[in-house]
Amino acid sequence: MEKRYWRSLAERENPAEFARAAEEEFPQNPLEQIEVSGGWDRRGFLKAAGFGFAASALAGCSRAPVEKALPYLNQPEYRVAGRATYYASTCGACPAGCGLLAKVIDGRPIKLEGNPEQAISRGATCAAGQASLLGLYDGLRLKQPLAAGRASTWAEVDAAILASLEKIRRSGGAVRYLSETITSPTKLAWVERFLGQFRDARHVVYDPLSASAILDAHEKTHGARLLPHYLFAKADVIASFEADFLGTWISPVEFARDYASRRAPSGRSWHAQFEGRLSLTGTKADRRVRVEPAEIPARLRQLAERIAAGDGRGDEVAERLLAARGRSLVVCGANDLEAQLWTNEINARLGNYGATLDLERPSRQRQGNDRELGKLLEELKAGQVAALFVDGVNPAAELPAGAEVGRAGLVVSFAGSLDESAERAHFVCPDHHYLETWADAEPVAGLVSLTQPAIRPLGATRAVIESLAAWCGKPGKAYDLLKESWQSRIFPRQKKETSFQVFWDRSVEAGLAEVEAAPAAHRPAGEVFRKEQPEAAQPETAGYALVLYPSVAMLDGRHAYNPWLHELPDPVTKVTWDNCASISPATAAALGVKDGDIVRVEAGTAIELPAVVQPGQHDRVIAVALGYGRKASERFAKLGPQWIDSRPSVNEQGRVGVSAAGLLGWEGGLLRYTRGAAKITRTGRRTELAITQTYGTLSVPKQLAPADGEVRPIVQETTPEELAKPAEPEEKHEELWPEDHPYTGHRWGMAVDLNACTGCSACVTACQAENNIPVVGKDEVRRHREMHWIRIDRYYSGPPEEVAVAHQPMMCQQCDHAPCETVCPVLATVHSSEGLNQQVYNRCVGTRYCENNCPYKTRRFNWFNYPREDRLANLALNPNVTVRSRGVMEKCTFCVQRIQEAKIEAKRVGEPVRDGEIRTACEQACPAGAIVFGDLNDANSRVARLARDARQYRVLEEINTGPAVHYLKIVRNREGGDQKNG
Amino acid sequence: MRSRVVTIVLGVAVAFSVLLLGTRAAIFHLPGNQQGYEPAQPIAYSHRLHAGELQIQCLYCHFGAARSRYAGIPPASVCMNCHRFVTSSLGAVRAEDELAAKEKRPPRPVVSPELQKLYNALGLDAAMRPDPQRSPQPIAWTRIHRLPDFVYFDHRAHVGAGVACQQCHGPVESMERVRQVADLSMGWCVNCHREANRTGIAGRRVNAPVDCSVCHF
């Protein structure tokens, strides 16, 4: 039987009703919304007024306003107006430390791209990394230091802080430096030096998304508190327990790239995911097992025993792991020491240490120590801390008892904006944005990545190391401090260069230096770690299990200021502008809860937030995303078009989403992201969620459906066995159109590998940044008016409990026989000689016929002049792409500005455009390498080869639109969508 | 009733526009057409002298045209390549020399008032050294050739293809003050592209595309 795909439970239950709704042009009837007043109808008025306005406008304008052009007095030699310069740097959006190339035009960074030379990013980025550009031009950033909440100067603040510190030094009071994981060797040295001035000083590191248990477990099993460097590219068999390594866990860009490199049909890895909620990683698993979080240690113990027995005892996962000794990898995302100890034991027994887990050159991306954090919070509570420095974290918003930070005698925050913790600080010494500063990072031992400024600081901010140096009595500029530090620390660790200046220049140019790392001291994993392990306590059976997870966009909440990330649909739930309590369909039915019903979730404390029904989730699990309900999101109260019918993007509390930090637990000195015995009750209230996946259905209209019933699924799948069979020759469709438009030069096309795509949505944000795509706000998303040129359609198949998921990036297909072109009455959308379907904004009069006739639903209409009033945020606009105004249709252009740039530059240097030279923004950002752009007329190009691949198909090919986007089928290692609950 | 309202609205609009158009008929252009625009500039720089008489290459000053989308207005430092030494016209220097010989005194340095504006902008003193008393101020030229924001014209492609600057900018080398010669309308661009595809440029075949997305994106 043909496999059926569905995108929401409503569609699954009532396909006929859904299909009918898809036929309708408008979600609501527009005529019903207009009140007719007086004797004038809308048309009559417009007819009369239109001519009058046009005539007076024509008469009124004859000359454009005078415009001044101010050239440089002395032009920097590398800067030519209008030409982009790229600066190699390091992403500061999370501690993963991906390498970046910051694209700077006319002095301002306008786009971030991955640095292909750097081993963590290898040219890719994640959605949050892409969006962090907006953080540079953020109006909430502080422009000067604050003393007692009032604007001050650095001299005043320094004098006051030094006076307090002097008192503390004399009295011997406790000084605590609370930071997130710092991978920068230079900053670590300065923190140490600064704290060295005091008798009782400690550097406390914590991660809002803690991996403390992994480090603690390695301390027990390997004698050193280390985080292994996970090498997914070398793993043939992967078993992941609650680790969302493709979405948010430790270093998702690196892991996604490594993982995707092993998912092609040949040499394919096998991946099992054990989890309670449906994570991004779970959607890609070959086998997904729903487990309650409390069961995880027991599951791992069981697996360890089966591995120890050496034959797997009929367990598929154990058998596969045993067959791939030294080529397998077991990871666990639970911050639970017992689970992590079992994980270590399994990996050690399988001989994976040294093969797929590197402890010699460990990762430094998570260094947090929850026990230390707990101790600090106790000290704060008891009023024993004389001075507290808060750097890069926001404990007041991230921790259940984080408000205690205000109880130290002196609180100094380095936050760039006035967040929940900085509000409680006596002094705020704002750090630069990472694009304004000199810094370094060592995400993995031996890989030192440099951060160099792409713009001068926009405000009177100061790098943290400059502040620390000033308070050590050695004031200096970050550049000098960094260079000094590299001369003494990094330069001696390499042997290639003999001159420091040459080494430094090369490192700055490349954005990184690969140096030696002394093998981290640890003892080899011994025998069985825990022979006498008491039987795990039975998981509590009362109530639900609560899972608090970082969402792909918000992570720990540090990006809550960022409108791009709020408007990015969650890759799985497809909810924007909210965090929800996800519950399984069975549980929702039992509770009588539907999407958007506000529920009360109680575990210790209680929060009220909308529910969303999530297929594939464990029936006894409630999942809530962290990082929402932040103070920074209060700015969105007036976001989006303000008109008579608009509703705000924030909730009743004035914020986006609800903070779930209060529900975090402490257990055994570790932050726990899962809780047992949670309660969920209906409140009886409802809210309308802004979900993007329930409309814009791709389907063949009835009148076009072929009589023989040949309708192909939008998402297509295959199996390794099927691929091995020789391909049947494709039937040529009868051509209705005359073939009188040959492409003699280029024919631009794209290939999208659905098997590689993880749905991480980096492409969506990259496109938003590149193409000046406006943010429309929650209410407009509810009206199906989001503006993303590329979206990722998420399809389910199989029963709601055990869904198989497919992610399908969908953008304008640049059809050969584009249905939009034939219906435009003003020729605003026409075909180019290189196969592009061009949208001419200035011709468009906004009939929206094209949008209605597009079978792929990829066209976007500007219903409003979306606000561009924030002059600072406007600096992030790409000057090479027109900002569209109201009443104009727009859609993916295949980044034609990049095509033009490459073609003209190739002409200038007198060479043909080489394959791979033009990379669209989505392709450039994709960590999985799922998107390939190129010239289909060049038989040797990557895209032309993929278009001949056995897995190739085109969406809705049967209606003969001739799309230029070729999709590669998903390869499933399992039968249909079936998964056994094993 | 309704038709009478429509008639009144239309009548008022027609009367209004005829009145406005009539008074401005002499300078009437379609909106956006700046043909013939010849504004005064902050420094009375003469293209006739530099490009015509002295035959300085266009690309010497407008070096961006070969490398970038924008030809660019030269930075003041480019002017200083010559005007560090040439501070006035030859005639003025000779006149001073003659006067000095007549009055039997060493000739005084002559600085033309227009070049003084350049030195002021750079904040230089009489000895051409940066003067700490003066802060450098960029020169605010009045832009003449301007395309709307939704047009992405690229100088590189045209200079590379061998299109003469004069083809679009007119005989700049004979202009004392630069004037916009072409109307810079889309029809004018497209006609030239079609023509170039037919006849080539300087005997070479060229591919001058006429797709919308070549200039509009």
CATH number at A91 reads: 2.20.25.90
Residue B150 and residue A832: Cβ atoms within 8 Å?
A: no
**Could you count the other beta carbons within 10 Å of the beta carbon of residue B93?**
16
**Chain B partners within 8 Å of A79 (Cβ):** none
Q: Rounded distance, CA B116 to CA A929, Å? A: 59
Per-residue pLDDT at A450: 92
Chain B residue closest in CA terms to A906: B157
Give the mean model confidence (pLDDT) for residues A451-468: 93
- Across the strands, what pairs with A100? A89, A114
- Across the strands, what pairs with A965? A750
User: Band of the pLDDT at A245, cuts 50, 70, 90?
Assistant: very high
The yes-or-no verdict on residue A635 having pLDDT over 80 is: yes
Residue B154 and residue A904: Cβ atoms within 8 Å?
A: yes
Residue A81 and residue B64: Cβ atoms within 8 Å?
A: yes
Judgement on whether residues A108 and A192 belong to the same structural domain of the protein: no
User: Band of the pLDDT at A761, cuts 50, 70, 90?
Assistant: very high
Q: CA A488, A494, A500, A503 torsion: positive or negative? A: negative
Q: How far is A290 from chain B (nearest CA, A)?
A: 48
Judgement on whether residues A561 and A450 belong to the same structural domain of the protein: no
Out of B16, B75, B216, the one facing A71 most closely (by C-beta) is: B75
Out of B31, B74, B217, the one facing A61 most closely (by C-beta) is: B31
Out of A68, A75, A833, the one facing B142 most closely (by C-beta) is: A68
Chain B residue closest in CA terms to A75: B75
Per-residue pLDDT at A115: 92
Give A883's DSSP letter. P
Give the mean model confidence (pLDDT) for residues B159-176: 92
Judgement on whether residues A120 and A170 belong to the same structural domain of the protein: no
Give the mean model confidence (pLDDT) for residues A140-169: 92
Judgement on whether residues A246 and A293 belong to the same structural domain of the protein: yes
Per-residue pLDDT at B28: 58
CATH code assigned at A642: 2.40.40.20
Give A490's DSSP letter. I
Judgement on whether residues A807 and A702 belong to the same structural domain of the protein: yes
Judgement on whether residues A167 and A266 belong to the same structural domain of the protein: no
The yes-or-no verdict on residue A35 having pLDDT over 80 is: no
Q: Whole-number mean pLDDT of chain A?
A: 87
Judgement on whether residues A801 and A940 belong to the same structural domain of the protein: yes
Chain A residue closest in CA terms to B150: A882
How do beta strands A670-672 and A931-935 pair?
unpaired
Chain A residue closest in CA terms to B159: A908
CATH code assigned at A317: 3.40.228.10
Residue A880 and residue B217: Cβ atoms within 8 Å?
A: yes
Per-residue pLDDT at A975: 46
Judgement on whether residues A868 and A880 belong to the same structural domain of the protein: yes
User: Band of the pLDDT at A979, cuts 50, 70, 90?
Assistant: very low
Q: How far is CA A505 from the centre of its chain?
A: 32
Residue B14 and residue A55: Cβ atoms within 8 Å?
A: yes
CATH code assigned at A802: 3.30.70.20
Q: Tell whether A48 is covered by a domain.
A: no
Domain end among A314, A347, A363: A363
Q: Could you tell me which residue, A740 or A487, shows the higher pLDDT? A: A487
Q: What is the ipTM of this complex?
A: 0.83
Residue A880 and residue B160: Cβ atoms within 8 Å?
A: no
Residue B212 and residue A904: Cβ atoms within 8 Å?
A: no
- Read off the pLDDT of residues A876-908 as tens digits, 9 standing for 90 and up: 999 999 999 999 999 999 999 999 999 999 988
Burial of A825 per CB tally in 10 Å (0-12, 13-18, 19+): exposed
Residue A83 and residue B68: Cβ atoms within 8 Å?
A: yes
The yes-or-no verdict on residue A334 having pLDDT over 80 is: yes
The yes-or-no verdict on residue A835 having pLDDT over 50 is: yes
Chain B residue closest in CA terms to A909: B160
Residue A838 and residue B213: Cβ atoms within 8 Å?
A: yes
The yes-or-no verdict on residue A51 having pLDDT over 50 is: yes
Q: Tell whether A701 is covered by a domain.
A: yes
Q: Whole-number mean pLDDT of chain B?
A: 88
Q: Could you tell me which residue, B22 or A478, shows the higher pLDDT? A: A478
Q: Tell whether A614 is covered by a domain.
A: yes
- Read off the pLDDT of residues A579-632 as tens digits, 9 standing for 90 and up: 999 999 999 999 999 899 999 999 888 999 999 999 999 999 999 999 999 999
Q: Tell whether A578 is covered by a domain.
A: yes
Best of A73, A773, A832, A837 to mutate (most B CBs within 10 Å, chain B) = A73
Judgement on whether residues A632 and A670 belong to the same structural domain of the protein: yes
Give the mean model confidence (pLDDT) for residues A835-852: 92
Q: Could you tell me which residue, A727 or A896, shows the higher pLDDT? A: A896
- Number of CB pairs, chain A paired with chain B, less than 8 A apart: 161
Residue B76 and residue A893: Cβ atoms within 8 Å?
A: no
**Chain B partners within 8 Å of A49 (Cβ):** 9
Residue A838 and residue B143: Cβ atoms within 8 Å?
A: no
Chain A residue closest in CA terms to B11: A52
Domain end among A93, A116, A136: A136
- Read off the pLDDT of residues A289-329 as tens digits, 9 standing for 90 and up: 999 998 899 999 989 888 888 887 778 888 889 888 889 99
The yes-or-no verdict on residue A977 having pLDDT over 50 is: no
Residue B6 and residue A49: Cβ atoms within 8 Å?
A: no
CATH code assigned at A456: 3.40.50.740
Per-residue pLDDT at A58: 59
Q: How far is A831 from chain B (nearest CA, A)?
A: 8
Q: Which residues contact A52 (CB under 8 A, 6 or more apart)?
A: B9, B10, B12, B13, B16
Give the mean model confidence (pLDDT) for residues A683-705: 79
Sheet holding A512-514, edge to edge: A227-230, A357-363, A439-444, A447-451, A512-514
Q: Quick check: A700 and A711 in contact, CB under 8 A?
A: yes
**Chain A partners within 8 Å of B5 (Cβ):** 48
Per-residue pLDDT at A34: 52
- Read off the pLDDT of residues B35-69 as tens digits, 9 standing for 90 and up: 888 899 999 999 999 999 999 999 999 999 998 99
Per-residue pLDDT at B21: 62
Per-residue pLDDT at A80: 85
**Is A105 at the interface with chain B, CB within 8 A?**
no
**Is A890 at the interface with chain B, CB within 8 A?**
no
Q: How far is B106 from chain A (nearest CA, A)?
A: 33
Give the mean model confidence (pLDDT) for residues A327-340: 91
Q: Tell whether A494 is covered by a domain.
A: yes
Q: Could you tell me which residue, A116 or B30, shows the higher pLDDT? A: A116
Q: Tell whether A39 is covered by a domain.
A: no
Residue A74 and residue B217: Cβ atoms within 8 Å?
A: no
Per-residue pLDDT at A720: 81
Give the mean model confidence (pLDDT) for residues B157-169: 91
Q: How far is A53 from chain B (nearest CA, A)?
A: 8
User: Band of the pLDDT at A536, cuts 50, 70, 90?
Assistant: low
Residue B157 and residue A907: Cβ atoms within 8 Å?
A: yes
- Which chain A residues in 269-328 lie under 8 Å from chain B, judged by CB atoms? none
Q: Rounded distance, CA A294 to CA A334, Å? A: 10
Q: Rounded distance, CA A379 to CA A374, Å? A: 9
Domain end among A313, A340, A363: A363
**Three-state DSSP class for residue A677:** strand
Give the mean model confidence (pLDDT) for residues A529-555: 72
According to the per-residue pLDDT averaged within each range, which of A57-66, A791-800, A863-872, B18-27 is highest? A791-800
Q: How far is A834 from chain B (nearest CA, A)?
A: 9
Helix then strand count (H, E) for chain B reads 10, 1
Out of A75, A82, A83, the one facing B77 most closely (by C-beta) is: A75
Give the mean model confidence (pLDDT) for residues B128-151: 90
Q: Tell whether A175 is covered by a domain.
A: yes
A649 in the Ramachandran plot: left (φ > 0), alpha (ψ -120 to 50) or beta? alpha
Q: Quick check: A282 and A616 in contact, CB under 8 A?
A: yes
Judgement on whether residues A552 and A659 belong to the same structural domain of the protein: yes
Q: What is the pTM of this model?
A: 0.89
Judgement on whether residues A274 and A242 belong to the same structural domain of the protein: yes
The yes-or-no verdict on residue A29 having pLDDT over 70 is: no
The yes-or-no verdict on residue A37 having pLDDT over 70 is: no
Give the mean model confidence (pLDDT) for residues A499-515: 90
Per-residue pLDDT at A535: 56
Chain A residue closest in CA terms to B118: A73
How do beta strands A670-672 and A665-667 pair?
antiparallel
N residues, chain A: 982
Residue A893 and residue B66: Cβ atoms within 8 Å?
A: no
- Read off the pLDDT of residues A421-450 as tens digits, 9 standing for 90 and up: 999 999 999 999 999 999 999 999 989 999
- Which chain A residues in 51-90 lie under 8 Å from chain B, judged by CB atoms? 51-52, 55-56, 58-64, 66-75, 80-83
Number of domains in chain A: 5
Out of B34, B122, B150, the one facing A73 most closely (by C-beta) is: B122
| Helix/strand/coil percentages in chain A, nearest 5 | 30, 20, 50
User: Band of the pLDDT at B11, cuts 50, 70, 90?
Assistant: confident
Per-residue pLDDT at A980: 40
Per-residue pLDDT at A736: 73
Contacts 24+ apart (CB under 8 A), A399-405: A399/A373, A399/A661, A399/A664, A399/A671, A400/A604, A400/A605, A400/A661, A400/A662, A400/A663, A400/A664, A400/A665, A400/A666, A401/A377, A402/A661, A404/A377, A404/A380, A405/A178, A405/A380
Per-residue pLDDT at A494: 86
Judgement on whether residues A245 and A378 belong to the same structural domain of the protein: no
**Chain B partners within 8 Å of A826 (Cβ):** none
The yes-or-no verdict on residue A538 having pLDDT over 80 is: no
Best of B213, B214, B215, B216 to mutate (most A CBs within 10 Å, chain A) = B213
Q: Tell whether A602 is covered by a domain.
A: yes
| Domain housing A296 | 212-363
- Read off the pLDDT of residues A246-271 as tens digits, 9 standing for 90 and up: 999 999 999 999 999 998 888 789 99
